[in-house]
Structure 1
Amino acid sequence: MAAVDQNSLRKLVEGQLLRLEGNAFQDCMDRLGLVLYPGDYQPVRAAGPKGDTKNDGYCPKARVFFAAHATRGETFAKTKGKIRGDLEGCLQEHRDVKVWRFLTNDTLPGEVDQFIDNTLRPLYPDVTIEVWGLKTLADEISKLKQGQVERIIDVITVDEPEFEVVVLNHMKTGRDLWPVLSNCLGWLPHEEPHDCTDDEQDLIDSAVQSFRDWSDISGDIEFSRFSVRDAQRSITAILEELAEKRLGLYAATTDDYPLTGGPSPFLGTVAIFRIVRVASE
């Protein structure tokens, strides 16, 4: 896996987690547990008439118990029943449970989160009940060293692929640039003029960081047309600052870029940025 910035890495991890189902998700969570709790975490699998005793993995010393379940596409009622059944089954089968952590590769809806907070936590005040959804898992994994991330999400380091020719378009407004920012999962290193002054370099660095920040939260604001328009106006203002320095942004995306290695790599869309000097109109 080529080195990527933190935001792109988090998106990459989210994408890989979303692909996992059933035992593949549990295996991934076992690898995470082994990294987070070295020398303590023990994977558990169903065996015999008692199954896995409502325990997908645990830490005997720290007394942390895990339930890993890919909830994508489930009804709210089924997810609530699964959570309650796994929690109560774990408490019946095991002593001194200090932390019970539900791991899922989805973002639980408010109804399920409310059920956990208003119903389950008051019923079991001596147990810390946690839910690690998609974004929490991606955040925790992304904090680790690259080698650990690769082992957890099961990828293999590969060389950068060769690229086909991609036509870049001049981005003059936030509305032009928004499809690039909202659709990409990663970034190729941007290009810029080699003769920039310090002020121009500061402006470019600030602009690129702002674009990445908007890209990072684009999925959280896409539901609101007002929020998207507000973002586009802010991006237009940045592009106008660049234009005042006679700097223009050209950008595009390229699809099916292998963001992970292995026999079945995770393919995603990456953004390509080039900042150039433009002639005055």
Structure 2
Amino acid sequence: MEGTAENAAPRSLTVAYVEGVTPGKWFGRWKSRMPGVALSSWQTDAAGQLTPLREGEADMSFVRLPIDDAGLHVIPLYMEAAVVVMGRDHELTICGDVTQAELDDENVLRADEHGFKLLIELVATGVGVAVVPMSIARLYARKDVVYRPIPDVAGTRIALVWPKEPEAAARDSATDDTAGMKRAELLEEFIGIVRGRTANSSRQPSTRQQQKREQKQRGGQDSGPRGSKKSGKRWGPAGRRPRGRPPRRH
């Protein structure tokens, strides 16, 4: 019957990630463990990192904190070290580390005014320096800019976020044809992968489903036709021995 969950096309999980995040290892684990559920993804810039979630275009997103987390579940993941990016001829390039005090006389450009990519391009022209996460400095690396750690500046944290109820609940009744998992279980599966759970972890929905299938199969094999089990003292009506069969002697 068309329109039933059993005949529905395999669903997909859509994950967005802010520039600087490298989610390839998690995506690879998903594809190996959940081959029946397609994973689609795309990169967002810092200014629009919540847009895919707010507009319903993504199920989950890797974001850089802080954010407006109203209506969102948030799992903090890891910290990014801060670095100062400068032109390769800048005098501070001779330092192994740079302190915040050494930037007091510098023209420090801000990412929220330009965006990270343009920010690095401006730094390359020599108009100023910028403090950014190390992942951003690596993502937009150029031959004419360098970066140095700045230990006394707090780093930034990457988090995994997804919508709270009722948005998620509206889609939770549908299941994936291949995995037989509800939408909330797909989210839980991905969260477990990000948190480092193994493929055989009992906390993973896919593992629990596999265990249920195996238990059901074992139950079907153990149960045979009624009355097929043999009993040592089942002789017939009223407990009488069959005729012509003498009692056993011990």
TM-score (ref. length: structure 1)? 0.25
* TM-score between the two structures when normalised by the length of structure 2: 0.27
- Name the one with the larger helix percent: 1
